[in-house]
Chain A
Amino acid sequence: DAGITQSPRYKITETGRQVTLMCHQTWSHSYMFWYRQDLGHGLRLIYYSAAADITDKGEVPDGYVVSRSKTENFPLTLESATRSQTSVYFCASRGDRAHLYEQYFGPGTRLTVT
Chain B
Amino acid sequence: DQQVKQNSPSLSVQEGRISILNCDYTNSMFDYFLWYKKYPAEGPTFLISISSIKDKNEDGRFTVFLNKSAKHLSLHIVPSQPGDSAVYFCAASGARDDKIIFGKGTRLHILP
Contact = CB atoms under 8 A, between A and B. Distances in A.
Interface stretch (A13-21, A63-71, A73-81, A103-111): A103-111
A43 B42 CA distance: 13
5 contacts: A41-B104, A43-B102, A45-B101, A92-B43, A102-B46
Given A42-B102, A99-B51, 4 more contacts: A43-B102, A45-B101, A90-B43, A98-B95
Contacts of B44: 43, 90, 105
Contact of B98 (A42, A44, A48): A48
Query: A-side binding surface: helix, strand, loop or mixed?
Result: strand
B105 to A, nearest CB: 5
A40 B100 CA distance: 18
A31 B46 contact: no
Contacts, number: 51
Contact of B89 (A33, A43, A99, A106): A43
Contacts of A107: 41-43
A101 B91 CA distance: 10
Contacts of B98: 31, 48, 50, 56
Nearest to B6: A42
A64 B103 CA distance: 22
A105 B37 CA distance: 11
Contacts of A50: 98
Contacts of A35: 102
A44 B98 CA distance: 15
B41 A108 contact: yes
Interface string B84-112: 00000100010100111111110000000
Given A42-B103, A43-B102, A105 B45 contact: yes
B88 to A, nearest CB: 11
A58 B101 CA distance: 10
A106 B103 contact: no
A60 to B, nearest CB: 12
A102 B49 contact: yes
